[in-house]
Amino acid sequence: MKKVLVGCVVIAASLLCCLQSNAQMKIGTFDEQSVLGLMPGIQKVDTLLQKYVADSLKPEYDYELSELMRLDSSFKKDSAGMQPSTRSIVQKEINQHKYKIVNWQQYQNQQLEQKQEELLYPYKQKIYASLEKIIKEQKYTHVFKSDMLLVAPPQDNLVIKVALDLKLKFPKDVEDQLRAQGLLGSSPASAPAGTTPKPKPANKN
């Protein structure tokens, strides 16, 4: 019985500490893609990525394929008269081109991701500068990705707070919903922070 009472006291003390700790916590949610989708000029990123594929990646693929065919044809014709060391070098070069062609889709995706990050960097700089300012000013202790929490108060949706801070324009359907709820005045900047459906995310390639 004594052990049970001691156990209950320990549990009660733990719960009290947890409640006291939670009282000091302020949790917000954030979704980078939702804010990126509102940034002015973000649509040109897709255009620049398509241009990158046409101007850089496609010529690179064509070069790799032509080199593979040239070396392979030459090797089949001349390999019998090659020194073993030379034959080994040429085979290695052929295999390198062949590997790149066979795994081209994976390589292209990696290059596109890197290029996309490069193009999105100026937008992300503004977004995260605003987010950091809001976190400090409003004393948030924890910020989670929006899809990591099943339940989160709308007033702690930092997507909206960042959008308002950056004076971004909401999509018309979102704006209409906000006005219908009395949450938006004559302009997006007049809306209360953190009380709107999630804006549409930016397209990803």
> 151 or 119: which carries more pLDDT confidence?
119
pLDDT band of 8, cuts 50, 70, 90: very low
CB 171 within 8 A of CB 158: no
Phi/psi at 43 (5° precision):
-65, -25
pLDDT band of 78, cuts 50, 70, 90: confident
| Residue 8, token pair as written in the block | 């209950």
- Distance CA(153)–CA(138), nearest Å, equals 15
Q: Mean pLDDT across the chain, nearest whole number?
A: 79
pLDDT band of 86, cuts 50, 70, 90: confident
pLDDT above 90 (res 1): no
Residues 26, 151, 128, 176, CA torsion sign: negative
Q: Where are the beta strands (DSSP E) in the chain?
A: 27-30, 142-145
> 162 or 78: which carries more pLDDT confidence?
162
| Residue 146, token pair as written in the block | 């929006």
CA distances (Å), 182 to each of 56, 74, 192, in order? 50, 74, 10
> 201 or 98: which carries more pLDDT confidence?
98
In the chain, what percentage of residues exceed pLDDT 70? Answer: 72
- Distance CA(142)–CA(25), nearest Å, equals 7
Q: What is the pLDDT of residue 4?
A: 45
pLDDT tens per residue across span 13-38: 454 345 445 558 899 989 999 999 99
| Residue 67, token pair as written in the block | 């080199």
| Residue 195, token pair as written in the block | 């009380």
To 10 degrees, the CA torsion angle through 35, 36, 40, 45? -170
Determine how many CB atoms are found less than 10 A away from the CB of residue 49.
18
